[in-house]
Amino acid sequence: MFFWDPTFIIMIPGLIMTLWAQSKVRSAFNRYSRVGAQSGATGADVARSILNANGLVGVGIEPVRGHLTDHYDPKSGTLRLSEGVYDSRSIAALGIAAHEAGHAVQHGTNYSALVLRTAIAPAAATGSQLGIWLFMIGWIIGIFTKTQMTWMLDAGIILFTVAVLFTFITLPVEFDASKRAILVLEKGGYLTADELPKAKEVLNAAAWTYVAAAATAVLTLVRLLILRGNRD
C-alpha cells in the first residue's frame, strides 16, 4: 500500500525528470567523448594543472574504474577520475576533470556551501535511508495494529527532511564547480572558443541530474506528508 497507493502519482514527474536527465548526460558525454580537444591535454593533465595553480600540490589524482564515477574525496584529499576521463583527450573528459578539480579547489578554499554540505552529509545519508524505512515501518505497523504510530511517521519525515536539504545544498556546489571549470578551460587555453560550448553542454547535462535528484526528494517528502496527514 505504501508503494502503490494513489499518492504514488506524485512521484511520476520526478521519475520522468530523472530518466530524462540521465539520458541527457549519457548522450552529451558519449557525443563529446569522441571529439578530441585541440590542446591535446588529458583529463589528468588538466586536473593536475588546476590543482597546482591553486596550491593543492598535495591532492593526488587516481584513475578509478567505472563510467562517470569521477569524484573528489575530501577525506583522503584525492581526486579520482574514471577510465573514460583520466587518460582521455576528449572535450568531455577535460570538462569533467576540470569540474571535479573545482571541487578540490572549493575544499581548499573552504567554500561555504561545500563546508555545509560536508557537515550534514552523515545525517543526510542516514536520513535518506533510515527516514524512509522508519516511516514505512510505522505505516505498516499502523495498518496491522490499527494504531496511529504517528511518532514513527514524524521521526521518519524529520530524518528525510535532512536528506532533502542536502540535495538543495548540493546544487550551488555543483554549479559553482562547473563555473570554475569553464573559466579555467577557457583562460588556460585547454579548449578553444568553438570547443567550450561543447564542454558546457556536458556539464549542464550533468547538472540536471542533481536538479532531478532535488526535485524527486521534494516530491517524496510531499508524498510522506500527505500520507502522514491521512493518518490524523
Question: Is a pLDDT exceeding 70 seen at residue 89?
Answer: yes
| pTM, two decimal places | 0.88
Instruction: Give catalytic residue positions.
Output: 100
Q: Where are the alpha helices (DSSP H) in 33-111?
A: 43-53, 83-86, 91-108
With respect to residue 93, please indicate whether it lies within any of the assigned structural domains. Answer: yes
Give the pLDDT mean for 3-14: 83
User: Cell digits for 191?
Assistant: 579548449
Mean of the per-residue pLDDT values of the chain: 92
Q: Which residue has the cell 521518519?
A: 156
In a domain, 1, yes or no: no
Per-residue pLDDT, 231: 65
**Helix (H) or strand (E) segment spanning residue 60:** strand 60-64
Q: Using one digit for the tens of pLDDT, what is the confidence trace for 97-120?
A: 999 999 999 999 999 999 999 999
Q: Does any domain span residue 124?
A: yes
Q: How far apart are CA 191 and CA 134, in angstroms?
A: 49
For the chain, what is the domain count?
1
Domain boundaries, position 70: 6-230
Distance of alpha carbon 41 from alpha carbon 64, whole angstroms: 19
